[in-house]
Amino acid sequence: MAEKELQDILRQEWDRRKRSGNLTECFDTLVGIYTNPNRSYHNLKHISEVIEELGSCSNALYLAAWFHDAVYDPKAKDNEEKSAAFARKWCIDFGYVPEFADEFERLILTTKHSKAPETEDEKRLCDADLAILGAEKSRFEEYEAGIRKEYSFYAEEAYYPVRAWVLERFLAKEHIYHTEKFRNKYEIKARANLKKLIESWQEPLLEDDSCTINFAPKD
């Protein structure tokens, strides 16, 4: 789908939900962020896929999908925190009550995937964010190539051992997905995709104990 067409489709739902004139400016700001050419995966296509996976949902969950990668620096470890702070600022401008802002911020922070989500909306957002792991071959390969491009400043010997470690953390879990809907739809395919991808990397690279890189590419 052409980028302009995708923007038009996303704007229709945005306009249906908006309750403040500031939201028009916000939409344009977010589109500008997600269409930055440096975003090879964490871009407008990813946001549209997360929104599509969520389907019918609350405004807090919908906006969290939009804002969860608003700040994305592959060299940083606090992207979710900065995205949440960015979202809270807009939330105040929208005129939402503090309780809504709290929920909004909390949802975004769950996409760090560092601990198990607790509420149903947190689980849905995390699962929608990880749905790409269970995508069909061409889209999954496009995803992984996009992640590699975003981390292109790392040499292969630095990138692949840590990337493998990140993906193996998902395989080590009893379930990758937190909701029955996403488990039924993506769990088997996601595990197959991840295993095949890790196995495709050269064995000596994965066994290199000399790697001491202090970064973890985001899923």
pLDDT single digits (tens) 5-31: 999 999 999 998 876 666 888 999 999
pLDDT at 97 over 80: yes
Number of domains in the chain: 2
Residue 40 to residues 25, 150, 173, 176: CA-CA distances in angstroms?
24, 6, 27, 24
Q: What's the pTM?
A: 0.89
pLDDT at 218 over 90: no
Map the chain to HEC letters: CCHHHHHHHHHHHHHHHCCCCHHHHHHHHHHHHHCCCCCCCCCHHHHHHHHHHHCCCCHHHHHHHHHCCCCCCCCCCCHHHHHHHHHHHHHHHHCCCHHHHHHHHHHHHHCCCCCCCCCHHHHHHHHHHHHHHHCCHHHHHHHHHHHHHHCCCCCHHHHHHHHHHHHHHHHHCCCCCCCHHHHHHHHHHHHHHHHHHHHHCCHHHHCCCCCCCCCCCCC
Residues 82, 103 within the same domain:
yes
Is 124 contained in some domain? yes
* Six-digit token string for 66: 């939009």
Q: What is the pLDDT of residue 211?
A: 46
Is 211 contained in some domain? no
Domain end (from 77, 105, 131): 131
pLDDT single digits (tens) 31-60: 999 999 999 999 999 999 999 999 999 989
Domain span at residue 181 reads: 137-206
Is 215 contained in some domain? no
pLDDT single digits (tens) 145-171: 999 999 999 999 899 999 999 999 999
Residues 122, 25 within the same domain:
yes
* Six-digit token string for 130: 């990880």
Residues 43, 126 within the same domain:
yes
Computed over every residue of the chain, the mean pLDDT equals 90
Q: What is the pLDDT of residue 93?
A: 81
Q: What is the pLDDT of residue 27?
A: 93
- Average pLDDT score over residue span 85-108: 90
Q: What is the pLDDT of residue 208?
A: 53
Domain end (from 108, 131, 154): 131
Confidence of residue 216 (pLDDT cuts 50, 70, 90): very low
Tell me the backbone φ, ψ of residue 42, rounded to 5 degrees.
-80, 65
Q: What is the pLDDT of residue 214?
A: 39
Residues 123, 143 within the same domain:
no
Domain end (from 86, 114, 131): 131
Q: What is the pLDDT of residue 202?
A: 59
Residues 183, 90 within the same domain:
no
Question: How long is the chain?
Answer: 219
Q: What is the pLDDT of residue 168?
A: 95
Residues 98, 14 within the same domain:
yes
Residues 93, 148 within the same domain:
no
Q: Amino acid identity of 150?
A: E
Residues 126, 30 within the same domain:
yes
CA distance 213 to 170: 20
